[in-house]
Amino acid sequence: MTSRVVRVYDGPFPSLEEITFGDPANRTPWPKEVWAGQMQEHEVALFCVNFKSTLPVREETGRPGPRSEETCRIFSSIEDAESHARRVVLAHPSTVCILRSKDEREVKRVSNRRFNLKFAFVSLIGLGYWVAFAGGIGLTIILLVRGLFRGPGLLEWILTLSLWKWMAMVTGAVVLGFSTLLLKMHLRVRRKVAKFDQAINTGLSPEERAQYREADVLAVSSDPEDREKARRLLKEYSERIMQIRRDMK
């Protein structure tokens, strides 16, 4: 089985710092995909991606690397490519191998079936736990509210419910439970965000806020000195924000 490794792109990607502060006239251009141009009509290319995020990963380790260094492996036949792909997913279960033809069409996907079933089973167990937990919260709320009204006792009332009423109550309990959990999470996040905003407003002086706002204007300037100043100001701003966050703890 013969194969060869080729680069997916023709050059490095521009860095975030270069995109933000670099000179547009001299900025590194976005690279083009060149792997298909290095193939024959009968050949097949093998790409490795993460099963969950579908982001490219290294064939040797199953872990992501710099996008500018992404490579693919070219095989002379789909049988050879599929055989190699099965060895890759066996060694790195979280990897999915995608086979593509020269016209960039996806021919086949090879994954670790056992790993996928195990992940699906664990996910279902986790989902079932949260459904049961939310249902318990919602059912408790329903029973507490029902206890506020006059009428038959709770046990007597529960025993008189039909199957359809039970199903409706359980469904409503799950919805009510999830709504309660989401509301609690929303309020907690709002409280933390408000606390952080207040810490920033009290931690930064008016002079500092005016100085850091200047960075937004300087970052798009055509003057290299202005962009360098913007880079320095944003770095200082990030350090001040991290300091404020540490002081909150």
Residue-level pLDDT at 219: 80
Query: Percent of the chain having pLDDT more than 90?
Result: 53
Dist CA 158 CA 205 (whole Å)? 62
45: pLDDT strictly greater than 70: yes
154: pLDDT strictly greater than 70: no
- Residue 72 counted as domain residue: yes
Same domain for 130 and 99 = no
**Among candidates 125, 136, 123, 61, which has minimal Cα distance to 91?**
61
Same domain for 135 and 77 = no
- Residue 209 counted as domain residue: no
Q: Tell me the average pLDDT of the chain.
A: 88
**Where in the sequence is the domain holding 14, given as residue range(s)?**
3-111
Same domain for 182 and 106 = no
What DSSP string runs through 215-242? HHHHTT-S-HHHHHHHHHHHHHHHHHHH
117: pLDDT strictly greater than 90: yes
Residue-level pLDDT at 85: 96
- Residue 10 counted as domain residue: yes
- Residue 214 counted as domain residue: no
Of the listed ranges 113-117, 151-155, 189-193, the one predicted with least confidence: 151-155
b (16+ CB within 10 A) / e for 144-156: eeeeeeeeeeeee
- Residue 223 counted as domain residue: no
Cα dihedral value 149, 152, 158, 159, nearest 10: -170
- Residue 210 counted as domain residue: no
Residue-level pLDDT at 208: 84
Q: How many domains does the chain have?
A: 2
Residue-level pLDDT at 205: 85
- Residue 45 counted as domain residue: yes
Sheet of 95-100, strands arranged across: 3-7, 71-75, 44-50, 95-100, 106-110
Quote the tokens at residue 181.
Answer: 């959990």
Residue at a domain's end among 67, 96, 111: 111
Beta carbons within 10 angstroms of residue 194's beta carbon: 10
Using one digit for the tens of pLDDT, what is the confidence trace for 158-191? 777 788 888 888 899 999 999 999 999 999 999 9
- Residue 151 pLDDT level (bands cut at 50, 70, 90): low
- Residue 245 counted as domain residue: no
Same domain for 190 and 126 = yes
Using one digit for the tens of pLDDT, what is the confidence trace for 46-89? 999 999 999 999 999 999 988 888 999 999 999 999 999 999 99
Cβ contacts of residue 54 below 8 Å, gap of 6+?
96
Query: What is the value of pTM for the model shown?
Result: 0.72
